[in-house]
Amino acid sequence: MLFRSETASKTWDTWTYYSEGTYYLYYLISEQAPGDGFGVATSQDGVKWKDHGRVIHASDKMVRYFGGGSVWKGPSFEETGRFLCNCSEWRLDGDKNVQNILFAWSQDLIHWNKFDDGLMFKIDERFYKRIERDARGPWEDPRWDGICVVPRPGGGYYGYWTATPRDFLGFGFGESADGIHWRALEPPRIEWGDTPKMYFIEVGGVHQFGDRYYAMLADYATVNCGMFSFVSDTPSGPFRPSAKNFGLLRNQSKMHAYFTRFLDSPGGVLVNHHTLAEGQFSDDHCSLFCSAEEGHGD
């Protein structure tokens, strides 16, 4: 499937959710900043789309950019009919810009309502960096962005997100009973073996296939930009590079095809991502599409 927004002049990351015969495709709007909110489009067949435009705005507290996340059913869905989603904002914390994760809810997957800042999920400094005092630029500031939510055996959720562990290159990991109040856990280790380490890590998507957990991790460094596949026998790791199809998307130009996320669809698990058809994201104007393909394990 292919989609291009009719209402936003510039978009970026995408994520998709399927419910009761309809695909809901969310796209990060990037007209005023690298991210300043998100929009949604709907489709019954994944081919023809209705673009509903912007449904979430960044707050007036944002100082750098707004980030996207994922959508999932709340634990009391049968009683409340509530879906949940997460997003992020960089905000001023003292004299530093710090990224925080926020939450919203919806009953129709189109109209979204933000929870107040009291439910903000902040960086847990026991395991993760909040400030990098020797950062050479904003691209090296610690991250806290985009929870990918996975059902937890016995109830509740596991979450994986872009973060900066204190002691090694990795990503965030935690759990929640209700999908709104999150507890950070120790970050999963990565057993790199003979595979060269990535420079940065962003979490695209994590999905359980059988008894294994597959993570699609992104590297946005110019020297090694793309999406890469990792696998673990337990939700808390360690993760290791997949034996097959390790390089999911390799870019000839920076972020040409980027940020894969999983989609549970009636026909099986799909993977969606965005692709630059013309220009670069740093350009004032660029042409970008969202596409989806069938997903597999190793």
Q: Looking at the 3D structure of the chain, how many domains does it have? A: 1
Predicted model pTM: 0.94
In a domain, 161, yes or no: yes
In a domain, 37, yes or no: no
88: nearest Cα among 115, 54, 62, 110: 62
Least confident of 86-90, 95-99, 184-188, 255-259: 255-259
Residue 290: band (very low, low, confident or very high) from pLDDT cuts 50, 70, 90:
confident
Range of the domain at 81: 61-294
Residue 295: band (very low, low, confident or very high) from pLDDT cuts 50, 70, 90:
low
* For residue 167, pLDDT beyond 60: yes
* For residue 175, pLDDT beyond 90: yes
In a domain, 281, yes or no: yes
Of 4-8, 44-48, 118-122, give the range with the top mean pLDDT.
118-122
In a domain, 28, yes or no: no
Share the mean pLDDT of the chain: 92
In a domain, 26, yes or no: no
Distance CA(271)–CA(249), nearest Å, equals: 12
SS3 170: coil
Of 135-149, 150-164, 219-233, give the range with the top mean pLDDT.
150-164
Position 275 scores a pLDDT of: 82
- Give the pairing of strands 96-106 and 113-114: antiparallel
In a domain, 54, yes or no: no
Contacts 24+ apart (CB under 8 A), 206-210: 206/148, 206/150, 206/160, 206/262, 207/150, 207/262, 207/269, 207/295, 208/150, 208/151, 208/235, 209/269, 209/297, 210/297
The stretch 274-295 carries a mean pLDDT of 67
Query: Could you give the percent of the chain with pLDDT greater than 90?
Result: 76
* For residue 57, pLDDT beyond 70: yes
Positive or negative torsion for Cα 134, 219, 165, 97: positive
Helix (H) or strand (E) holding 47: none
In a domain, 34, yes or no: no
Q: How far is C-alpha 5 from the geometric centre of its chain's CA atoms?
A: 19
Position 274 scores a pLDDT of: 87
Least confident of 78-82, 210-214, 224-228, 238-242: 224-228
The stretch 61-65 carries a mean pLDDT of 96
Least confident of 81-90, 155-164, 274-283: 274-283
Helix (H) or strand (E) holding 30: none
SS3 295: coil
Radius of gyration of the chain measured on its C-alpha atoms: 18
Residue 294: band (very low, low, confident or very high) from pLDDT cuts 50, 70, 90:
low
In a domain, 50, yes or no: no
Each residue of 22-37: pLDDT tens digit? 999 999 999 988 899 9
* For residue 189, pLDDT beyond 90: yes
Residue 134's CATH number? 2.115.10.20
